[in-house]
Amino acid sequence: MIQRSLVLGAALSVALATVGGAQAADGDTIKAITDRGHLLCGSDGKRAGFSAPDSRGVWQGFDVDFCRAVAAAILGDAKKVKYVPLSPAQRFPALQSGDVDILSRVTTRTLTRDTKLRLNFAPITLYSGTKMMASKSLGVKSGKELNGASVCIPPGSSQERAISDFFDRNGISFKAVVIDNIGELSNAYLSGRCDVMANFEPGLALIRLQSDKPDDHVILPDDIEKEPLAPAVRHGDDQFLDTVTYVVYATMEAEERGISSANVDNMLSSSDPGVQRFLGKTGDLGEKLGLPANWAYQIIKQVGNYAEIFERNIGKGTPLGLMRGRNELWLNGGLHYAMPFQ
């Protein structure tokens, strides 16, 4: 039996140790953002398609765009964001201590994170799942054939627990190769230090693309665990939670109503009362959130609707090449469903 080396408990202990140190108070976060003039966004910084600086040093990606959307809603300018790169072990203490206002970093919503870590999650931005990738040379067609394999796993991640449960459930053993830096972890797999790489599915697709021979690697079909990814904020500030919640919903509502960055100016003159209310031409939705009347307009004008965010960062026309699937709107058979803007 090969011993597993899990550090999930240690990472959780570090995060728990910060609880209570920087409890947010209602309204404090938006005031702090407004006073300093920018949003502090905790993200990855090394995951192309999700959060990474481009060749000009400008941060781009799916997670980045939701921070940009929050800045557009609160400050009227999607560029007013300072990005803080965080490893899996750093991300929760950074949020709890107030070093960042929001965590938008391929983070899975779980019961422990909701409760023990005292985080509040906005709506799910990406429905994903834990998978494993192996070299085709291993000749395996399922994770159930990996008894005794070494598995590269990021520490303090939801994948760490999911992989442990999967091997226990199937009565087989594995050896964990745990490295905090995702780039070093990917290199460990690609150089053969471990037999298998575990991550959420889009992450595996990216790592496969980075290899010299992408076709030599196969993502195994086993659905190991659900990975509902969402932005997170600290407990205690309901106004900021409401704001981030409806910023996410605004991107989905806009797609449902056919409003995009390309046509939002024309939609301002729409006769549809729902569109008028959503864009702040009528009603008081902005006032109820403590935001400017045109907060949703600013999001769509500067960042785009959900479809635009998905397609330009991780969609079928990008290197990741992901299909919408369960990330379609509910009208199209997917899981995304915005609460009514009334």
- Domain membership of residue 246 (yes or no) is yes
Query: 14 lies in a domain?
Result: no
pLDDT in the model for residue 22: 56
Sheet holding 119-121, edge to edge: 81-85, 39-43, 102-103, 232-234, 119-121
With respect to residue 8, please indicate whether it lies within any of the assigned structural domains: no
Domains in the chain, number: 2
* pLDDT given for residue 180 in this prediction: 83
At residue 127, the pLDDT reads 97
166 and 206 part of one domain: yes
Q: Are residues 234 and 211 in the same domain?
A: no
Q: Is 228 in a helix, a strand, or coil?
A: strand
pLDDT tens digit string along 88-129?
889 999 999 999 999 999 999 999 999 999 999 999 999 999
The reported pLDDT for the residue numbered 20 is 47
- Within 10 angstroms of residue 82's Cβ, the number of other Cβ atoms is 15
Q: How far is CA 201 from the centre of its chain?
A: 13
Task: Tell me what pLDDT residue 12 has.
Answer: 47
d(CA 87, CA 45): 9
pLDDT value at residue 183: 85
Quick one: 255 and 203 in the same domain? no
The CA-atom distances, in angstroms, between 145 and each of 109, 201, 262, 270 are 29, 19, 50, 58
Looking at residue 339, the DSSP 8-state letter turns out to be P
CATH number at residue 269: 3.40.190.10
- Same structural domain for residues 79 and 52? yes
Query: Per the domain annotation, does 107 fall within a domain?
Result: yes
Q: Which helix (H) or strand (E) holds 39?
A: strand 39-43
The total number of residues shown for the chain amounts to 342
Which of 228, 262, 285 is the endpoint of a domain?
A: 228
Question: pLDDT under 50 in the chain at which residues?
Answer: 1-14, 16-21
Assess if residue 11 is contained within a domain. Answer: no
Indicate if 204 and 149 belong to the same structural domain.
yes
Same domain, 104 and 182: no
- Three-state SS at 74: helix
- Tens of pLDDT, residue by residue over 290-306, are 999 999 999 999 999 99
- For residue 3, the model assigns a pLDDT of 40
Task: Using the 3D structure, point to which of 178, 212, 228 is the last residue of a domain.
Answer: 228
Choose one of 210, 228, 246: the last residue of a domain.
Answer: 228
Question: Which candidate, 229, 261, 50, places its Cα nearest to that of 157?
Answer: 229
Burial class, 196, CB count within 10 angstroms (exposed 0-12 / middle 13-18 / buried 19+): buried
Do residues 142 and 81 share a domain? no
| pLDDT for the residue 15 | 52
DSSP 79: T
- 246 in the same domain as 337: yes
Please tell me whether residues 92 and 190 are part of one structural domain.
no
Q: Are residues 164 and 99 part of one domain?
A: no
Residue 309 within a domain: yes
In the block, tokens 């080396």 appear at 5
197 and 53 assigned to the same domain: no
Shared domain check, 340 and 235: yes
Domain that holds residue 159: 127-228
The pLDDT of residue 88 is 86
